[in-house]
């Protein structure tokens, strides 16, 4: 089934792919509380690194002369973001917070592709977006859109 064109500009996450991935995500929830307490989720620090790199990229976007994103600080922040993203996709979450981090990452790829608040809210009603918001809320207890 084709992706709702109003949701994101990157390759589509089909309903089938999302539903296929959900059982694997659920399997991560079977972790032992004792094991989870002794070993922190490896995705959580990567998620925070990814968020920090994204914030830095946004802050540097407004720099005079950085219209082509070639300022060395912007290039370094983008490299940090990409590295954290790639690592997040290779690791298995061991906590609800780690699964929430993956939901936030997925939001960047399938979430609304507009800054207009009204259009954003409309696009956020697609199946993919609503599914990710439900996962985000279930894992983090936070209402609203995933933090990216």
Domain positions in the chain are 40-140
Give tens-digit pLDDT for 100-112.
999 999 999 999 9
Backbone angle region of 40, left / alpha / beta, with phi > 0 → left and psi within -120 to 50 → alpha: beta
Taking residue 66's Cβ as centre, other Cβ atoms within 10 Å add up to 15
Q: Is it the case that residue 53 has pLDDT exceeding 80?
A: yes
Across the range 69-97, mean pLDDT stands at 95
pLDDT band at 37; cut points 50, 70, 90: low
> pLDDT value at position 16?
60
pTM score, whole prediction: 0.75
Measured CA to CA, the distance from residue 96 to residue 83 in angstroms comes to 22
Three-state secondary structure call for residue 146: coil
**Dihedral, CA of residue 69, residue 7, residue 116 and residue 74, to nearest 10:** -10
Of the ranges 5-9, 46-50, 56-60, the best mean pLDDT one:
46-50
Measured at the CA of 141, the angle between CA 136 and CA 144, to 5 degrees, comes to: 55
Q: Is it the case that residue 97 has pLDDT exceeding 70?
A: yes
For 70, half-sphere exposure in the C-beta direction (CA atoms, 13 angstrom radius) is 3
């Amino acid at each position: 089934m084709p992706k709702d064109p109003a949701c994101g500009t990157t390759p589509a996450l089909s309903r089938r792919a999302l539903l296929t991935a959900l059982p694997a995500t659920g399997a991560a929830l079977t972790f032992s509380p004792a094991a989870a307490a002794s070993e922190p989720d490896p995705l959580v620090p990567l998620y925070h690194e990814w968020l920090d790199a994204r914030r830095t990229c946004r802050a540097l976007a407004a720099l005079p002369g950085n219209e082509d994103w070639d300022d060395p600080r912007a290039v370094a922040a983008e490299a940090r973001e990409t590295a954290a993203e790639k690592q997040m996709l290779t690791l298995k979450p061991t906590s609800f917070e780690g699964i929430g981090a993956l939901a936030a990452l997925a939001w960047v790829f399938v979430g609304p592709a507009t800054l207009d608040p009204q259009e954003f809210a409309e696009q956020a009603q697609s199946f993919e977006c609503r599914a990710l918001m439900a996962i985000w809320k279930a894992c983090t207890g936070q209402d609203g859109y995933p933090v990216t």
